[in-house]
Amino acid sequence: PATIGIVGGGQLGRMIALAAKPMGYRVGVLDPTPDSPAGQVADFQITADYDDEAAILELARRADVLTYEFENVDLTTLAHASQITELPQGTDLLYITKNRLREKQFLADHGIPVARFAEVQSVVELDAKVAEEVPCPAILKTAEGGYDGHGQWDIPNTDALNTLISHWPVAETVPLILEQQIDFDREVSVMVTRDGFNEVRIWPVAENVHQHHILKTTLAPAQVSPLLQAKITRIATDIAEALNLRGVLGVEMFVAGDDVYVNELAPRPHNSGHYTIEGSNISQFEAHVRSIVGLPIAEIETVDQALMLNLLGDELTQAREELLAHPEWHFHDYGKLDIKRNRKMGHITVVGATAIGQLETWSQTHEQH
Ligand code: ATP
Ligand code: MG
Ligand code: MG
């Protein structure tokens, strides 16, 4: 059978592998951590750093199709790998989405609404950019490499700006993006892909709640007006077409009144799409596999409303102890070997209003210690 190679062995790689295996594929992963979450369920793991070009090329040689589960893969290495094996997502998708400046510019160039933004190359530039291009409240982010809110600084007012400048936390060589802070009503996301016959497949709008910049819950379908739903779906479809998309793309957006702004893109399955495993006919992981190997994907249908709750830090252990009392829980343990505060260790999905109510009640009384 054909082998799918995944660069990265975290929970996304694990769930891609768990979707690919019953379809008859072999799966190989590359990750620096021995026995990584994906490595535990794959046919083989190459244990090496993500920037180890020789190891990535070895994975490419052993795979018929190559994909990745995060954005921080070196582009040159990926281009070399694509000369050895199939890389259906191509390198342009990663080139655009791994850098917030290129991503926002790409979106703006295609008429997609984004927050005002400006490039900031050094601490010296920041003052002037805030004064001229992106007034407070604003958020400063590293252009590359950030996740779960790492590499972000809030600038609510000029006092905060001055404090940030006098305690400059960033290496001078790191490019930054300054973004207008959107006063949003809600945060939503949409998962979208195109199948092997270029048909766009899109899941319902999902509503996300973050705590300390980390995703806590996703409710889908989101409770938004038909007008907003149409707008959001249109935007995600336009992006998928503009990118000639292969593989699944997560589109994060802010909703403010009747306005929608795209926050960021993820060229892979996304945490807010985990509910699709139980909540829809085709999960984002099965769809990712189908899209990259060139298979058709049926139109997406949802079973019922679903709620996904991330289990961070020690919450997973607590939740496991309660499994017996909650027959409606779909429990997902990523198999991570060490518990760290705010680390995504697993998640729970429930489907249907009754179970959603019960999970909400449970989560309110079981916050991370
Ligand atoms: P992820 O884990 O989703 O990849 P990330 O570190 O890449 O996160 P963002 O998604 O850009 O970071 O930001 C994290 C959160 O911070 C957002 O979900 C949102 O709550 C808030 N945020 C970021 N940018 C803005 C903005 N321009 N206006 C308002 N809120 C913002
Ligand atoms: Mg991100
Ligand atoms: Mg985000």
What pTM did the predictor assign?
0.97
Domains and CATH numbers, the chain: 3-87 (3.40.50.20), 116-180 (3.30.1490.20), 186-365 (3.30.470.20)
Give the residues across from 117 on adjacent strands. Answer: 179
Rounded Cα distance between 336 and 33, Å, is 10
Residues, CB-to-ion distance under 5 Å, ligand 3: 252, 264
Rounded Cα distance between 305 and 307, Å, is 7
With vertex at residue 18, the alpha carbon angle to CA 200 and CA 241, rounded to the nearest 5 degrees, is: 15
Judged against a pLDDT cut of 90, whether residue 23 lies above it is answered with yes
Task: Determine contact, residues 212/240, Cβ cutoff 8 Å.
Answer: no
125 CB-contact burial (10 Å; exposed 0-12 / middle 13-18 / buried 19+): middle
Residues with CB under 6 A from ligand 1: 115, 139, 146-150, 179, 181-182, 187, 210, 213, 252, 263-264
Neighbours of 148 (CB within 10 A): 16
Phi, psi (degrees; rounded to nearest 5) at 240: -60, -40
Give the residues across from 280 on adjacent strands. Answer: 302
Judged against a pLDDT cut of 80, whether residue 125 lies above it is answered with yes
Summarised one tens digit per residue, pLDDT across range 127-164 is 999 999 999 999 999 999 988 889 999 999 999 999 99
Eight-class DSSP state of 298? P
In sequence order, which ranges of 149-300 are alpha helices (DSSP H)?
A: 158-166, 226-242, 276-279, 284-293
Summarised one tens digit per residue, pLDDT across range 162-208 is 999 999 988 888 899 999 999 999 999 999 999 999 999 999 999 99
Judged against a pLDDT cut of 80, whether residue 223 lies above it is answered with yes
Distance 227 CA to ligand 1 centre (A): 24
Give residue 369's pLDDT band: very low, low, confident or very high (50, 70, 90).
low
From the CA of 187, the nearest ligand is 1
Per the prediction, the chain carries an average pLDDT of 96
